[in-house]
A and B are shown apart, each in its own frame.
Chain A
Amino acid sequence: MSAATSTVERERDELRADPVLIRPGTYAEVTDELLRAVLRPPRWMRPALIVTFLGTLYLFAAIAYTVTTGIGVWGNNIPIAWAFGITNFVWWIGIGHAGTFISAFLLLLEQKWRTSINRFAEAMTLFAVIQAGLFPLLHLGRPWFFYWLIPYPNTMAVWPQFRSALAWDVAAVFTYFTVSLLFWYLGLVPDLAAMRDRAPERWRRRLYAIFALGWHGSARAWQRWRIAYGLLGGIATPLVVSVHSIVSSDFAISQLPGWHSLVFPPYFVAGAIYSGFAMVVTLMVPARRLYRLEHVITPRHLDAMGKMMLVTGWIVTYSYAIEIWTAWFSGEPYEMYTYLKMRPAGPYAFVFWTVIVCNCITPQFLWSRRIRRSPVALWIAALFIQIGMWAERLMLIVTSLAQDFLPSSWGLYWPTFVDWSLLIGTIFFFLFLFLLFLRFVPFIPIAEIKELKHDLEEEEHAHG
């Protein structure tokens, strides 16, 4: 008992020394400050929106070109029938994991520090899943028939083929998107109500009123809201694990050396959280600076995120090692060729070594507390991890396909400008959606911050 008490006390001491909120003012001040970003947007917002909007248009031009001409405009071929498209899909959906992880997982674990960043992360999740969802559609030869992957009763009496992971994949991604959207929106309702109450223009008040669903902040509303939010969090939590496990099955159920691997589900989930946290950091560090929110998103948050990246980075590194070891231990010549020859020394060796440097070496810097708490250093590390995780998926997909069983069918893949356009275009689209979010929605949960402030003050009183 005493040990447990002392642990709690130590944590509390740490919390005090390393607060999750610095110098909060009154509740009204908190509300004002957090709403100011939306009510009086910063000056860079308009040009940033225009630039990302143009990038988004470019994306849709590339999409139109692909759909009207055929996916021959990509660099894919036989043997490499999947390449950038699926790489981008897995990358984006991986990024989409951190939001729910932060919101739901940490909510259930009652990690208080999550409050400042959870909506941010949830929004990121949604927008990343939107990007991810584009690719399975676009990569189809006949995207107009995508709905054949959905089990719906039809006159042809033909169902999807349930043995194929692609059919599960559709379900998993749809579910994940739906739950994430609901979770995000539910969390947003009290703040939308605040916007409704505070917005200066009449039309804005009307608009926010619609989305606030008549929220009036009664104790009963709060109580039900909390139950619903907790339930959704409970539902969302297993999804964090399931979605990427199923995405990994897209590869693991095949018999291709480099894909056919039991370690894939946990390895993919860890990798997803890894890249997701990196994306949160990538977005959070500049936002924190631009909106002068250093006292709401404190070094303690950066520190926690850094630790998460370190942990997941190690899981990923371990998975790489296990994969290679298993390939060697199996004695299976095709596996050995892929893991021991093709990847480290084949034509795509530079991708493999990029992965090792970005995903295995970079996180080792995060052992240092100073780096973890330095926004710039952390941001750079996050960028490396993003690149590394993207390259990992490319390595996984392309190097496995490029040289499989029959040497006669071996080939190489090089991306075309359409491939690059779609990747870069989705980054713009993602940023555009994200800026819209920053522009129109309180991106730090006001109610929850106030609650956190209240809790912290309670604790102060109790112990102070």
Chain B
Amino acid sequence: MADHRPSSRTPNVASSAPTDAGDVRRARSEQLAAALGALSDPVARRDFLTRMGAAIALAGLGGCTRAPREEIVPYVHTPVGVTPGKARMYATASTLDGYATGLLVESHVGRPTKIEGNPLHPASLGASGVFEQASLLGLYEPSRTRGIKERRSPTSWTHLWHVLGASRWTKEGGAGLWFLLEPTSSPTALALLDRIRERLPRATILFHSPTSPRHVWEGARIAFGRVLEPRYSLERADVIVSLDADFLGSGPAMLRLAREFADRRDVQGPNDTMNRLYVVEPLYTITGASADHRLRVRACDVLAVAALLAKELGLPKPPGAAPPNLTEAAVPHEKWIAAVARDLLAHRGRSLVIAGDAQPPEVHALVHVMNAYLGNLGVTVTMAPSPIAEAGEPSHELGRLADALGAGEVDTLVICGTNVAYASPTERGLGTLLPRAGKSVYLGMFEDETAELCTFTVAQAHPLESWGDARAFDGTVSIIQPLISPLFEGRTELDLLAPFAGRPETSSWDLVRERFRSDAARGRPAPEVERAWREALKRGIVEDTAIPPVTVTLDVPAVFDRVLGRAKSPPPPTPGAFELVSRPDPRVHDGRYANNAWLLELPAPITKLTWTNAATLSPATAAKLGVATGDEVELRSGVRSVRAPVFVVRGQADDTVGLTLGWGRRRGADLARGRGADAFALLTGPSSQSPSVEIRKTGAKRDLPITQTHHELHGRDEDILQHATLAELRDPGARRHHDKKRLALYRKEPGPSRWQWAMAIDLSRCTGCGACVVACQAENNVPTVGPDGVYLSREMHWLRIDTYAVGAPDDPQVAVQPMLCQHCEMAPCEYVCPVNATVHSHDGLNEMVYNRCVGTRFCSNNCPYKVRRFNWFDYHEHEPEVRSLAHNPDVTVRQRGVMEKCTFCVQRLREFEIAADQGRAKAPPQTACQQTCPTRAIVFGDIQDEGSLVSRLQNGDRAYGALANLGTEPRVRYLARIRNPNPELA
């Protein structure tokens, strides 16, 4: 490591500000920022080639690219040198609300281009979700803030520390110094925070995320007397009851739970068993869509359902008379709940009740009691301490900060990563109180609402630019290693905290290594520790760091006390008001991803809405209000109101309005600014009660960018989306003949090839989470078209998730179907192209020759699946140069006027074939959608190989070809969706 840092002066923070002079990193960053600035300038396009030429020459001279200074270790092979054109994978991790998900990042010559899940990581198991997939684009977002700014004008790191060092708190042991961090599980950050507390005992450290599982922690405290988190083992559960828990679509273990759940949905033969899922929820989630039985109730009535369920289970009666209103709201559903209870009782020790994060602590506590009573505790659910620092402590509440700001007690406020001015209930008033801090420093990626109110803004490094560490939901530590040095002079949280901890000269790399050494040393010799470090970087996890579950003792009376206490003090009913249910958005979470075009254009799982959120209402509620989809309404809570478009969702609870968090951004999210409505404006403080809102129709109309407007199958189930119950599948008499014998005028023989590629998609496993959609977009350079483009039905996704309503019109089941090019053997698109631009390959791909396409679009008209996408404009024309760095160099960026569609990731297939031809045996190729799929619903492979999984699935009982009646002979075959309804409720 080059010794380029200024020599340290005193350990005192006040005078120990690192200087800029001689900081190589800073100098480099400045040069780069200048270059990037010029690159983003459209007039400098011609210069780009010159600069690229120079850059390549320099890269040759320097023998390195934009790889970070410190040594990072590739996933499998230690590099001898970078081979241009050859991608390498590095293991790292990303965090959300402090919990880590392990990743493998593909790097092309020092440029990260694709993110995959790390198979060794407990929260990933090789899969990744939409946020992980899309975070790549966030790295190259040109609107990220750069360097250090004081009131929006550039300044220096030295100046920042000069100002901070002159503050009062430096002399008063940290009095008046407040930290507001994102919840963190990072051992290194914790060590730094401990040092800060040591040195500045009067400083206050708070954590904030609007989506922290605070009620989970509190629920465990009620039930067990200490803060714990439940860990589920869905593979052991035969019957699962979700009480407003979207465990397949959100939460730190979501990817793992989705895999475990799907593994129990997979029936290949009539003798296989499957689990059964009951979901009680107010809004329609993907977990609800995967349910065998779904009960729609208001969020505030879930407690009543839980209480009634507990009663039906025969739990010992609480002392004293239960207030009648405890279970009142659930009484209409008594039959349903009783059946669920019987099913649970029949599966003692093999069942599981899960409470949703947003449900009040009492529901969580009651669920713990039920699980214990059913013998599930310790079997399908274990309790373990949270990996999050100070979980459940008051430091996770904002109230103290608001009070202190109001009282003028905050001299210096340091905010790391959390956009608190936006992402906290407006009632808290932080959006107005922040300027009352003497001075404030905000470490953030964007010039957002918080940056506007803070004295200093420090550009935050993207996780792919950062050194760090973090724990998974089960405590397993991952080292976060950078793939690229910061593009916009970003700094990490560790960089900003280190000077406060008296380590101003220490880079985050040093800090992470130091912490690792001290944890891993345990008397081991240094070379061994070094080997362990390299192993940790390579594998993406640090072995044996999981936090073991603890044995717990349940305090049943305390639980009943709380539950009854809550029932005794019901909120005063507001006439004409509706319950507001605001949950993290499946695309922008709490607004932090509102600058990510891939996520903005990702259709929301059930509504298929893009680029905005909407006030979702049930049909009955909408009728009562006299509104329909597209009408604008005003939602009012007290003095604050927001305007949102209505979206009518069948299957939502009546008298409930859903509005996801994260929209209606005011600053810092150029792409999303002003889109949708800000639910934080309507939220009230820390209460676990859903706020009630009044709804008024404004008379205005909004055009909603929706990718799918028809959800009826029109009786075409057999052709399009086959579904059956487990009983029907087992009954040989009822088994349907999926593919009728067809007469063909002429048959097409497969071409001469070593492989015949094909895909099987299991509709029983697919949850419709949409990770594959983003993965495909990232892998194949699929452009986004913006809300107007989506409104005109011009979205470019090669892979889409179709949703259909099955069953009762008012309360339908939602069935999902990933739809992509079916690579028909008898492709209707091929024979109508006048210029041979779409042709069949020997290995069974329907190929699209972009160079040859003149854009007649006849192929799309003749495609019964309508999976072809047309470049109506040059979608890359105005793309900032920095964003084009996200492109996969193995895939063509398409010109305007040509058709495109799913290629089965042909670039990966050809890479595999070349390697195989050269005798370099590699793992069979995976398509991007397959690789990221949390439930492994997508299986790809060679159907010539009879032993391959795809062959077995394609020839299984459940396999069918979509619209196979047309004689298209698709290479993609679906496996019918099987549900396992309770006969008692059927």
Contact = CB atoms under 8 A, between A and B. Distances in A.
Nearest to A250: B858
Which residue, B853, B866, B870, B871, has most C-beta atoms of chain A within 10 A?
B866
Contact of A407 (B711, B792, B869, B899): B711
A81 B832 CA distance: 14
B836 interface: yes
Given A149-B834, A149-B835, A70 B872 contact: yes
Nearest to B832: A164
Interface in A319-355: 333, 337
Secondary structure at chain B's binding surface: helix, strand, loop or mixed? loop
A78 B792 CA distance: 9
Contacts of B713: 407
B835 A141 contact: no
Interface in B855-908: 855-858, 860-862, 864-866, 868-874, 895-899
A4 interface: no
Which residue, B714, B720, B834, B854, has most C-beta atoms of chain A within 10 A?
B834
Contacts of A406: 720, 802, 819, 864-866, 962-963
Interface stretch (A223-231, A296-304, A408-416): A408-416
Interface string A249-268: 01001111001000000000
Contacts of A166: 832, 834, 856, 858
A58 interface: no
A78 B834 contact: no
Given A141-B854, A406-B864, A407-B710, A77 B792 contact: yes
Contact of B862 (A77, A146, A149, A256): A256
Nearest to B801: A408
A106 interface: no
A114 interface: no
B737 interface: no
Contacts of B342: none
Contact of B860 (A79, A139, A259, A403): A79
Interface in A138-167: 139-143, 145-146, 148-149, 158-161, 163-167
A404 interface: yes
B804 interface: yes
B534 interface: no
B861 A401 contact: yes
Interface string A73-85: 0011111111000
A251 to B, nearest CB: 9
Contacts of B895: 142
A69 interface: yes
Interface residues of B, number: 55
B716 A333 contact: yes
Interface string B430-461: 00000000000000000000000000000000
Interface residues of A, number: 50
Contacts of A82: 857-858, 861
B832 A254 contact: yes
B868 A333 contact: no
Contacts of B833: 161, 164
B834 A167 contact: yes
A77 B794 CA distance: 6
A245 B290 CA distance: 51
B712 interface: yes
B871 A405 contact: no
B841 interface: no
A142 B898 contact: yes
B597 to A, nearest CB: 17
Interface string A364-408: 000000000000000000000000000000000000010111111
Given A70-B896, A76-B872, A141-B870, A408 B708 contact: yes
A126 interface: no
Given A82-B861, A142-B853, A404-B866, A75 B831 contact: no
B803 interface: yes
A108 to B, nearest CB: 33
B605 to A, nearest CB: 14
Given A142-B897, A165-B832, A78 B709 contact: no
Given A141-B853, A141-B857, A410 B897 contact: no
A408 B800 CA distance: 10
Contacts of B856: 139-141, 166
A72 interface: yes
Interface string B938-972: 00000000000000000000000011001000000
A54 to B, nearest CB: 29
B835 A160 contact: yes
Contacts of A193: none
Given A72-B872, A333-B716, A140 B861 contact: no
A69 B873 contact: yes
Contacts of B857: 76, 81-82, 139, 141
A405 B713 CA distance: 10
A142 B874 CA distance: 11
B828 interface: yes
B715 interface: yes
Interface in B817-837: 817, 819, 828, 831-836
Contacts of B709: 410-411
Given A71-B897, A158-B852, A406-B819, A78 B869 contact: yes
Given A70-B872, A71-B872, A81-B861, A407 B714 contact: yes
A338 to B, nearest CB: 12
Contacts of B871: 70, 141
Given A77-B792, A141-B870, A161-B833, A255 B862 contact: yes
A78 B794 contact: yes
A277 B805 CA distance: 50
Contact of B715 (A159, A259, A333, A403): A333
Interface string A111-149: 000000000000000000000000000011111011011
A78 B855 contact: no
Contacts of A143: 854
Contacts of A333: 714-716
A412 to B, nearest CB: 8
B793 interface: yes
Contact of B858 (A148, A164, A170): A164
A143 B899 CA distance: 14
Contacts of B898: 141-142
B934 to A, nearest CB: 22
A169 to B, nearest CB: 8
A151 to B, nearest CB: 10
Interface string A161-187: 101111100100000000000000000
A140 B855 contact: yes
A132 to B, nearest CB: 16
B841 to A, nearest CB: 16
A160 B831 CA distance: 11
A418 to B, nearest CB: 12
A160 B836 contact: yes
Contacts of B862: 254-256
A407 B898 CA distance: 25
B708 to A, nearest CB: 5
A239 B975 CA distance: 51
Contacts of B868: 78
A330 to B, nearest CB: 13
Contacts of A70: 871-874, 896-897
A404 B865 CA distance: 9
Interface in A191-247: none
Nearest to A69: B873
Nearest to B895: A142
Given A149-B835, A164-B833, A408-B708, A255 B866 contact: no
The 9 closest A-B pairs by CB, nearest first: A141-B855, A141-B897, A72-B872, A409-B866, A408-B802, A81-B857, A166-B834, A77-B793, A142-B897
Given A82-B857, A337-B714, A406-B866, 4 more contacts: A70-B897, A141-B854, A254-B832, A333-B715
7 contacts: A75-B792, A78-B868, A78-B869, A81-B858, A160-B835, A254-B861, A406-B802
